[in-house]
Structure 1
Amino acid sequence: MTTTKTNKIIFWTSTILIFLFEGVMPALTSQTELAKEGIRHLGYPEYFGNALVVFKILGVIILVVPQIPKRLKEWAYAGFTFDFLFASISHYAVDGLDFQTFFPLIVLAILMVSYVFYHKINSNNLNS
């Protein structure tokens, strides 16, 4: 298997995982009582959770649609990075050190794989 093909497989696998975790899952579950209680538990108002879901859905669309300009993709990656870091900090501040503190950092690691391989693919396309 060629390096370019491997890079594309790694990129799309990690990006699809982000799409599922940050786009599909929030879109389907954001209005459940459990999700609303999760936002309240962290001390945020309900409208913050709604806005977060809108931006997550827009962000994953930006990441998965190839025709979106690279500058917007960079902003989406940055936005998700802040989201995961602040989610981890929020959970730590409210609940202390537990799995909910580390889970956003695990998803951040997947996002970083997507980001690194996004750039590998694009640098290969420039050199071809």
Structure 2
Amino acid sequence: MTNRIEPKSSTKWNKIIYWIATIWLSLGMLSTGIVQLIKMDEEVIKMKQVGYPVYFLTILAVWKILGVVAILIPKFPLVKEWAYAGFFFAMSGAIFSHLACGSSIIELFGPTLLLVLTIVSWYFRPADRNDFSYQ
């Protein structure tokens, strides 16, 4: 692959898009992680509706919170890639689980939004946060 030089305004907009998506993604993952960690009644009900054991909430919560930390701290680009992959798998799995058990369409909104934010944040991440950048 060749190194392409982007205009400054394009790079600036990419950083703005990255940080907006990343902040919203982090807030979404952190808030759902906390709600799952404390096992709020609504989350327990949702977990049972999609057919997963309640202890799965704790596993998801811990990985979401650690994933947010990984994405926000500087350096460790490989760990960031793993966090993005984990978010992608968790949210796509949530979407398919809701579809498979016949959940209402509104139940798809949260995981779909977080999936889109994951993709946008990953795509627009700066070179210093990208394991595959050419330096």
Residue matched to 2:4: none
Residue matched to 2:3: none
Residue matched to 2:106: 99
Q: Which moved more, 1:51-60 or 1:30-39?
A: 30-39
CA–CA distance in structure 1, aligned partners of residues 134 and 69 of structure 2: 27
AA at the equivalent of 1:14: A
| Among 21, 44, 48, the residue aligned to 1:40 | 48
| Among 26, 33, 41, the residue aligned to 2:33 | 26
| Long gaps (5+) in structure 2 | 1-7
AA at the equivalent of 1:83: A
Fraction of identical pairs, as percent:
35
SS at match of 1:46: coil
Size of the aligned set, in residue pairs, is 123
Residue matched to 2:86: 79
> How does the TM-score come out when normalised to structure 2?
0.80
CA–CA distance in structure 2, aligned partners of residues 9 and 55 of structure 1: 26
- Give how far 1:102 is off: 4.9
SS at match of 2:101: helix
Name the Cα RMSD after superposition.
2.2
CA–CA distance in structure 1, aligned partners of residues 31 and 103 of structure 2: 28
- Give how far 1:103 is off: 3.9
